[in-house]
């Protein structure tokens, strides 16, 4: 049995701010259980829902020297959906209303987490053959493993994989401060190791010291070797290109299944999608108090409202969009200017724009099921899960051709009748607008073509099956 430990700062169903949580929670379930014992470790946040906290069982605790003090590390455990989850407990670090807070504090918090993860393993008597680290929050695990944990027999030979879900966030802090908190010596603060500029950089540490690197789509794996997408680490990505590969994300086909989805008004599959989707659309129009109308082109957005997701393009043509017979249903939180922008348009065009500035699993499912199209014009997108959820629900994605969006959405070709959505290349508001209007025209004037697009979208397979196999192959190769 090969033992794998996933380390992640967020994991569904316990805590989620974005797609990282979906991946860390759903992928572990998809490995061959006869060959792989995959467990997951994450922080125990105060802000987790009480029902999850109630499920956790105290396993052990110990004290660990960290940042000049002896600190409490509790370990809790739960088995959920056949997977063992460990939670690192420290009320000082993991309190507050959200998993992430102030930048400096987050760096310290996850340095603590990374050290606590390794320190906990002998205590809970789980020696993984490989630790699979996700994003900057776990970047110091491969570094610590190389450094202070190398002495004993227990840690010798443990392999590491670093998966990049988003290269933009790296977890850096002034090198002096970084050394003081992490306990790493100045040996590590050079440009070929953890240093970027005047900072120490957690993600860079993971990328330098991990045995292999993956990211969440083939296109993003290529893009991050270029300065535009490389976030200052493109040189390192090129240098390690032999150890870097893209493995596209899947989604949980049980949680996201229109045939069994408890959140939506009318369940459906490919055989009755047209009729049932309409029922969902009517129900959502009613619930949100936007204008009724079966043939109004309803576009959904479920997203963090940040620059990454292309909201400046949407803001630029929002007024024009509202002049057309479209409805825009938005669910998201994030930058204040985008929250306010959608609220403002919802006030001005109440029958066309619905601004839902909050987080809701239930509402997200309703939007995936009810809308005709889903808009995701990202500036960059390592993979993107929302477009996969849309495809699964027969809601046609309109995306910019970048990263995982490019790899998972095939643009409609009216000449040979192929495609599962619509896309544009340049990061340009008018190109996006024209693409939305093209989709609108297919919806209005060539409904039979539109319906065939829905059928093709729903026939795609973005379950974890194929990608989990690729991870297994990589683990086998590394563990030997």
Identify each DSSP E strand in 90-178 by its residue range: 130-134, 159-164, 172-174
Q: Could you give the CA distance from residue 16 to residue 53 in angstroms, rounded to a whole number?
A: 15
- 409 in helix, strand or coil? coil
Q: Which is nearer to ligand GLC, 74 or 300 (CB)?
A: 300
Residues in contact with ligand ADP, total (CB under 6 A)?
18
State yes or no: residue 379 binds ligand GLC (CB under 6 A).
no
> Which listed option, ligand ADP, ligand GLC, none, makes contact with residue 463 (CB within 5 to 8 Å by class)?
none
State yes or no: residue 211 binds ligand ADP (CB under 6 A).
no
> Which listed option, ligand ADP, ligand GLC, none, makes contact with residue 331 (CB within 5 to 8 Å by class)?
ligand ADP
What is the smallest separation between the CB atom of 10 and ligand GLC, expressed in angstroms?
A: 10
State how beta strands 199-201 and 195-196 pair.
Answer: antiparallel
State yes or no: residue 166 binds ligand GLC (CB under 6 A).
yes
CA 87 to centroid of chain Cα atoms: 20
Q: Which of 18, 122, 183, 230 is the binder for ligand GLC (CB under 6 A)? A: 18
CA triplet 480, 33, 407: central angle to 5 degrees? 75
200 forms bridges with which residues in the sheet? 173, 195
What are the strands of the beta sheet with 172-174, ordered from one edge?
Answer: 172-174, 199-201, 195-196
State yes or no: residue 333 binds ligand ADP (CB under 6 A).
yes
423 close to 416: Cβ distance less than 8 angstroms: no
Q: DSSP assignment, residue 225?
A: T
Tokens 């009517």 — which residue? 282
Q: Could you give the CA distance from residue 3 to residue 375 in angstroms, rounded to a whole number?
A: 40
Tokens linked to 451: 């319906």
x-marked contacts with ligand GLC along 404-423 as a string, rule CB under 6 A: x-------------------
Span from 17-25, 74-82, 256-264, 436-444 in contact with ligand GLC (CB under 6 A): 17-25
48 close to 95: Cβ distance less than 8 angstroms: no
Alpha helices by DSSP H, 242-385: 273-288, 311-322, 336-348, 361-370
DSSP 3-state percent helix, strand, coil across the chain (nearest 5): 40, 25, 35
Provide CB contacts within 8 A for 219, sequence distance 6+.
Answer: 246, 402, 403, 404, 406, 407
> Which listed option, ligand GLC, ligand ADP, none, makes contact with residue 332 (CB within 5 to 8 Å by class)?
ligand ADP
Q: Which of 5, 10, 19, 41 is the binder for ligand ADP (CB under 6 A)? A: 19
Tokens linked to 138: 């776990």
Q: Which of 8, 182, 354, 386 is the binder for ligand ADP (CB under 6 A)? A: 386
What is the smallest separation between the CB atom of 327 and ligand ADP, expressed in angstroms?
A: 18
> Which listed option, ligand GLC, ligand ADP, none, makes contact with residue 216 (CB within 5 to 8 Å by class)?
ligand GLC
Closest CA to 396 of 436, 338, 341, 366: 436
> Which listed option, ligand GLC, ligand ADP, none, makes contact with residue 299 (CB within 5 to 8 Å by class)?
none
Q: Which is nearer to ligand GLC, 258 or 404 (CB)?
A: 404
Q: Which of 4, 19, 28, 353 is the binder for ligand GLC (CB under 6 A)? A: 19
C-beta nearest to ligand ADP: residue:
19
State yes or no: residue 389 binds ligand GLC (CB under 6 A).
no
**Distances in Å between the alpha carbon of 142 and those of 133, 134, 211, 373?**
8, 11, 8, 42
Q: Which of 13, 18, 96, 122 is the binder for ligand ADP (CB under 6 A)? A: 18
Span from 90-98, 231-239, 292-300, 327-335 in contact with ligand ADP (CB under 6 A): 327-335
Span from 116-124, 197-205, 264-272, 377-385 in contact with ligand GLC (CB under 6 A): 377-385
> Which listed option, ligand GLC, ligand ADP, none, makes contact with residue 24 (CB within 5 to 8 Å by class)?
none
State yes or no: residue 23 binds ligand GLC (CB under 6 A).
yes
Q: Which is nearer to ligand ADP, 18 or 232 (CB)?
A: 18
Span from 188-196, 364-372, 378-386, 459-467 in contact with ligand GLC (CB under 6 A): 378-386
Residues in contact with ligand GLC, total (CB under 6 A)?
14
**Distances in Å between the alpha carbon of 183 and those of 115, 176, 235, 473?**
10, 10, 27, 35
Q: Residue numbers of the site for ligand ADP (CB under 6 A)?
A: 18-20, 22, 302-304, 331-333, 359-361, 364, 383-386
Q: Residue numbers of the site for ligand GLC (CB under 6 A)?
A: 18-20, 23, 165-166, 216, 249, 381-385, 404
């Amino acid at each position: 049995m090969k033992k794998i430990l996933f380390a992640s700062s967020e994991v569904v169903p316990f805590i989620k701010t974005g797609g990282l949580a979906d991946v860390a929670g759903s992928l572990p379930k998809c490995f061959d259980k006869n060959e792989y014992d995959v467990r997951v470790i994450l922080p125990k946040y105060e802000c987790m829902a009480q029902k999850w906290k109630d499920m956790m069982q105290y396993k052990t605790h110990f004290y660990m020297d960290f940042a000049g003090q002896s600190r409490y590390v509790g370990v809790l455990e739960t088995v959920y959906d056949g997977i063992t989850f460990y939670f690192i407990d420290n009320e000082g670090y993991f309190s507050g209303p959200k998993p992430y807070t102030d930048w400096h504090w987050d760096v310290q918090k996850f340095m603590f987490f990374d050290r606590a993860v390794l320190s906990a393993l002998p205590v809970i008597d789980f020696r993984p053959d490989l630790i699979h680290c996700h994003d900057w929050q776990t970047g110091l695990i491969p570094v610590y493993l190389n450094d202070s944990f190398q002495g004993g027999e227990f840690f010798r030979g443990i392999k590491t994989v670093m998966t990049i879900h988003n290269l933009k966030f790296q977890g850096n802090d002034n090198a002096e401060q970084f050394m003081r908190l992490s306990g790493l010596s100045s040996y590590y603060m050079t440009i070929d190791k953890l240093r970027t500029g005047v900072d120490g950089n957690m993600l860079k540490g993971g990328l330098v010291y991990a045995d292999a690197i993956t990211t969440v789509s083939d296109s993003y794996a290529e893009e991050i070797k270029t300065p535009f997408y490389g976030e200052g680490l493109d040189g390192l990505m090129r240098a390690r290109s032999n150890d870097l590969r893209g493995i596209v994300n899947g989604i949980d086909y049980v949680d996201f299944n229109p045939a069994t989805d408890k959140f939506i008004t009318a369940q459906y599959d490919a055989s009755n999608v047209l009729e049932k989707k309409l029922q969902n659309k009517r129900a959502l129009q009613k619930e949100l108090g936007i204008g009724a109308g079966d043939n109004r082109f309803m576009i959904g957005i479920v997203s963090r409202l940040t620059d990454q997701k292309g909201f400046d393009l949407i803001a630029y043509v929002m007024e024009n969009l509202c002049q057309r017979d479209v409805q825009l249903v938005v669910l998201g939180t994030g930058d204040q200017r985008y929250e306010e922008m959608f609220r403002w348009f919802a006030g001005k065009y109440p029958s066309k724009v619905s601004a839902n500035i909050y987080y809701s699993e239930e509402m997200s499912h309703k939007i995936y099921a009810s809308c005709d199209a889903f808009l995701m014009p990202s500036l960059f997108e390592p993979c993107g899960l929302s477009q996969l959820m849309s495809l699964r629900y027969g809601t046609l994605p309109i995306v910019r051709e970048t990263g995982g969006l490019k790899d998972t959405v095939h643009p409609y070709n009216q000449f040979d009748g192929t495609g599962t959505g619509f896309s544009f290349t340049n990061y340009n508001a008018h190109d996006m607008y024209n693409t939305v209007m093209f989709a609108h025209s297919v919806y209005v004037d060539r409904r039979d073509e539109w319906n065939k697009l829905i059928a093709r979208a729903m026939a795609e397979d973005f379950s974890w099956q194929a990608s989990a196999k690729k991870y297994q192959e990589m683990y086998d190769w590394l563990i030997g």
